Structure 1
Amino acid sequence: MRLTFIQFFILGFASFRITHLIVFDKITAFLRAPFFDEFTMKDEDGNDAVYIAPKKSGVRGWIGELLSCYWCTGIWVSIALFLSALYFPKWAEPVIIIFAIAGVASLIESAVQKWGGE
């Protein structure tokens, strides 16, 4: 499969958005929860701070390590998107385009929040 620049950028934005959804977004926290241990520590001011860490061993630990690294997760998401586009284009293209649009929108929103001055 030969990618045009447009296809490359669409896949890139979709990969960015899906990776962020998996690794960071609150809406998918329930998916990440089985792979992390949660613990509470006191911060400098004496307040409780909640931290998470990947499970120590086994498959859950391996998946927890993967999910704690957005670079790693991004590679696997990119592979899945590319192979989906290659072998199941009728199903994959609408999904990829929707996530690419969401990726661009999230970058615009981040820029507005950073430089909007409000």
Structure 2
Amino acid sequence: MSVVKEVTEKAKRVQRSYAGEADRPLAGYVGVMGTYSALVGGLTLLGRALGARIPNRIGFGDTVLLGAATFKASRLLAKDAVTSPLRAPFTRYEESAGDDELNESVPGRGHVEHAVGELLSCPFCLNVWIGTGLAGGLVIAPRVTRLAATVLTAVGVADALHLLYDAGKKLASG
């Protein structure tokens, strides 16, 4: 038996043993993790080519800024109605979730499509990708990254203020 065939058979046994009757896209997850690793490697190579150096420490202010920007960007990409065309090849619209957010399901098509659909419709999953990109940007292009992160953070703060304003109007009229 060839090595490729042995590895393939072992992967199928692991899939069956892990998932049981459920259709879990382990092969798709491997593909998504491989893509993430390749992107991190690409960021690393780009940083080296540009002569960027990882700072000895990242300040508290930058950490808070990147955290808030990561939160807003992941919600925007995973849940916003306007970004639904990016998710549409991998998800299906279910219903409005209020405040311009959508609930979507991930059909059980191919393993890669399903895994990508789960990634694109999950703000928690996107946090890792977006946070990594913003952190890499902070090292490679700090001024541009801080500007983009500041815009995302400002939009997130404005969203929170809109929600508080609407809640206050409901309390006052109620």
Please state which band the TM-score falls in when normalised by the shorter chain.
0.7 to 0.9
After superposition, the CA RMSD in angstroms is 2.0
Alpha-carbon distance in 2 for matches of 1:18, 1:52: 18
Q: TM-score, normalised by structure 1?
A: 0.77
1:103, CA displacement in angstroms?
Answer: 1.3
In the other structure, the counterpart of 1:107 is 160
- Per-residue CA deviation, residues 30-60 of structure 1 (Å, 9 max, x unaligned), is 1110011457xxxxxxxxxxx7421322322
Q: TM-score, normalised by structure 2?
A: 0.55
* Code of the aligned partner of 2:106: P
Matches within 5 A, 1:13-52: 13-37=68-92, 52=104
* Code of the aligned partner of 2:147: P
Instruction: Indicate the SS of the match to 1:34.
Output: coil
Q: Give structure 1 stretches of 5+ with no counterpart.
A: 40-50
Identity score, percent: 26
Q: 1:61 to 1:106 in 2, by over 3 A?
A: same
Question: Do the aligned residues in 1 keep the contact of 2:87 with 2:121 (CA within 8 Å)?
Answer: no
Alpha-carbon distance in 2 for matches of 1:38, 1:107: 25
Alpha-carbon distance in 1 for matches of 2:154, 2:93: 33
* Code of the aligned partner of 1:55: P
- Per-residue CA deviation, residues 61-104 of structure 1 (Å, 9 max, x unaligned), is 11101123221112221111111111122332211111111111
1:3 aligned to 2:55?
Answer: no
- 2:107 corresponds, among 34, 39, 55, to 55
Greater relative CO, 1 or 2 (CA 8 Å, sep 6+)? 1
Structure with greater strand share of residues: 1
- Bigger Rg over Cα: 2
Question: Do the aligned residues in 2 keep the contact of 1:13 with 1:101 (CA within 8 Å)?
Answer: no
